[in-house]
C-alpha cells in the first residue's frame, strides 16, 4: 500500500513538471510572436520612411536639374547680351569716326569760306573807301554826276560799329583800333562822380585848365582785383593791383553790336569780337563802396606797364548768387562769362 502511494506521488510529480514545461514553452512562443510583430512594424515604418526620403530625393534632384537648366539659359542670355552690346558699341564707334570725319571736312570747308570771306570783306572795305573818296571829291568840286546805282543800296562807307575791348590794347579780325588808352572811373568810395567806365585816350589833349586840384569830381584809373582771368598777356604775373588798359575797336563792314552777359558764344549769324567775364565795383554791406556799371573784361587781359596799387578804382569779378535768379540754370558762386558780338 505504501508503495502504491509512493508510485502515485512520483506520477503526479512527473505530470506537474511536464505541465510546467508546456506552460513555459507557450510563453516563449508568445514572446517570440510579439517580437516578430514589433520587427514587422519597424520594417513597415522603415519602408515608409525610405519611400518618403526617396520621393524627396527625386524632387530635389528634379529641382536641381531645373536650376541647372535655368543657369545654362541665363548664361546663354548673358553671352548673347554681351555679344549684342559689343556689336552696338562697335557700331557707335564706327558712327563716331564717320561723324568726326564729316566734322573735319566741314571744318575745312568753314576755314576755306572764312578765308574767302575775309578776302571779300577786305575788298569790299577798299571798294567803299574808294567810293567815299570819289563822292567827297565830286561834292567838293560841285561836279554833277548821273544816278549812282550803288547809292540805292544805302551803304555808308563811313558807318560800321564801334565797341570798347576792356583789358586789351588790340582788336581782332577785321576790326581796327580807333585808339587805345586806360580804363577810368570815379572812386567808388566817394559820393558823387560818375558810375560808368571810360576808355580814356592815352594821348590826351587839353584846352582851358585850372591848375591844381579843386576837389570836385575826380577821375582815377581802374585796377584789377580778383577773377578767373588768364595771365598769358602779362607774362604770367598776377593781375592784382595792376592798371587796366582798353582799346576802342571799329568794324567797318557791320552795323550792329551787342554785349551778351552769361554767354561766351554769339547767336547764329553774329561774329564774336571778344569774350571774357563780367566785372564791376566791389559789393559790400557798408556804405563805402558805390554801384558801378558792368563791364565785359577780356578773358586774358593785359596790364599797363609799370602800374601798381594807388589812388584807384578797383574792379572785381562778378559772382552769381541764387535768390531771385533761378538755380539751375545758374550756379551759386560761379563767375558769369560775357561776349561782344557784331553783325
Note whether residue 4 is domain-resident: no
What average pLDDT does this structure show over 21-25?
61
| 188: containing domain | 160-203+218-343
Q: How far apart are CA 76 and CA 236, in angstroms?
A: 61
Least confident range from 140-154, 188-202, 269-283: namely: 140-154
CA 158, 162, 168, 169: dihedral to nearest 10 degrees?
A: 20
Domain-located, residue 136: no
Cell (9 digits) for 285: 554791406
Residue 267, CA distances (Å) to 85, 86, 196, 297, 328 in order: 39, 40, 27, 20, 22
Identify which has the larger pLDDT, 326 or 264.
264
Q: What is the DSSP string of 248-269?
A: EEEETT---EEEEET-SSPPTT
**Residue 150 domain flag:** no
Q: Domain check: are 183 and 237 in the same one? A: yes
Q: Which of 62-66, 126-130, 164-168, 323-327 is the most confident on average?
A: 164-168
pTM: 0.52
For residue 139, being part of any structural domain is answered with no
Average pLDDT over residues 233-237: 85
Average the pLDDT over 258-266 and give the result: 95
What confidence score (pLDDT) does residue 272 get?
95
Mean pLDDT of 277-300: 78
Identify whether residues 51 and 169 lie together within a single domain.
Answer: no
Neighbours of 76 (CB within 10 A): 10
- Residue 192: inside a domain: yes
Do residues 290 and 225 share a domain?
Answer: yes
Residues 85 and 192 occupy one common structural domain: no
Co-location of 89 and 185 in the same domain: no
Domain count, the chain: 2
Is 316 a member of any domain? yes
Spatial separation of the C-alpha atoms in residues 273 and 68, rounded to whole Å: 70
Indicate the burial class of 326 (C-beta count within 10 angstroms; 0-12, 13-18, 19 or more).
Answer: exposed
Q: How many CA atoms lie within 13 A of 101 on its CB side?
A: 6
Q: 103 with 190, same domain?
A: no
Q: Are residues 265 and 328 in the same domain?
A: yes
Q: How open is the CA angle 16-22-26, to the nearest 5 degrees?
A: 145
State which of 85, 118, 151 marks the end of a domain: 118
Q: Whose CA is closest to 180, among 111, 235, 118, 250?
A: 250
Single residue among 89, 118, 147 that ends a domain in this structure: 118
pLDDT number for residue 287: 54
Q: pLDDT tens-digit profile of 94-104?
A: 888 888 888 88
Domain's final residue, options 64, 94, 118: 118
Amino acid at each position: 500500500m505504501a508503495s502504491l502511494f509512493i508510485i502515485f506521488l512520483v506520477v503526479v510529480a512527473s505530470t506537474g513538471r511536464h505541465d510546467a514545461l508546456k506552460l513555459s514553452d507557450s510563453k516563449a512562443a508568445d514572446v517570440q510572436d510579439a517580437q516578430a510583430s514589433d520587427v514587422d512594424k519597424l520594417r513597415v515604418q522603415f519602408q515608409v520612411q525610405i519611400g518618403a526620403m526617396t520621393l524627396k530625393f527625386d524632387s530635389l534632384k528634379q529641382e536641381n536639374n531645373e536650376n541647372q537648366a535655368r543657369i545654362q539659359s541665363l548664361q546663354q542670355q548673358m553671352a548673347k547680351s554681351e555679344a549684342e552690346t559689343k556689336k552696338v558699341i562697335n557700331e557707335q564707334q564706327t558712327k563716331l569716326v564717320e561723324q568726326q570725319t564729316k566734322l573735319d571736312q566741314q571744318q575745312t570747308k568753314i576755314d576755306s569760306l572764312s578765308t574767302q570771306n575775309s578776302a571779300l570783306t577786305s575788298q569790299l572795305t577798299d571798294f567803299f573807301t574808294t567810293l567815299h573818296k570819289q563822292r567827297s571829291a565830286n561834292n567838293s568840286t560841285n561836279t554833277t554826276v548821273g544816278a549812282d546805282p550803288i547809292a540805292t543800296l544805302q551803304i555808308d562807307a563811313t558807318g560800321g560799329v564801334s565797341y570798347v575791348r576792356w583789358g586789351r590794347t588790340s582788336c581782332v579780325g577785321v576790326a581796327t583800333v580807333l585808339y587805345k588808352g586806360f580804363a577810368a572811373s570815379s572812386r567808388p568810395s566817394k559820393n558823387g562822380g560818375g558810375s560808368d567806365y571810360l576808355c580814356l585816350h592815352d594821348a590826351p589833349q587839353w584846352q582851358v585848365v585850372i591848375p591844381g586840384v579843386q576837389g570836385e569830381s575826380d577821375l582815377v584809373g581802374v585796377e584789377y582785383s580778383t577773377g578767373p582771368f588768364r595771365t598769358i598777356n602779362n607774362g604770367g604775373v598776377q593781375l592784382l593791383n595792376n592798371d587796366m588798359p582798353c582799346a576802342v575797336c571799329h568794324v567797318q563792314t557791320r552795323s550792329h553790336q551787342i554785349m551778351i552777359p552769361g554767354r561766351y558764344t554769339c547767336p547764329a549769324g553774329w561774329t564774336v569780337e571778344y569774350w571774357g567775364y563780367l566785372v564791376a565795383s566791389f559789393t559790400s554791406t557798408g556804405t563805402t563802396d558805390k554801384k558801378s556799371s558792368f563791364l565785359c573784361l577780356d578773358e586774358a587781359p593785359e596790364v599797363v606797364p609799370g602800374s601798381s596799387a594807388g589812388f584807384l578804382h578797383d574792379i572785381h569779378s562778378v559772382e552769381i548768387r541764387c535768390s531771385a535768379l533761378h538755380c539751375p540754370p545758374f550756379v551759386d558762386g560761379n563767375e558769369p562769362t560775357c561776349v561782344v558780338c557784331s553783325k
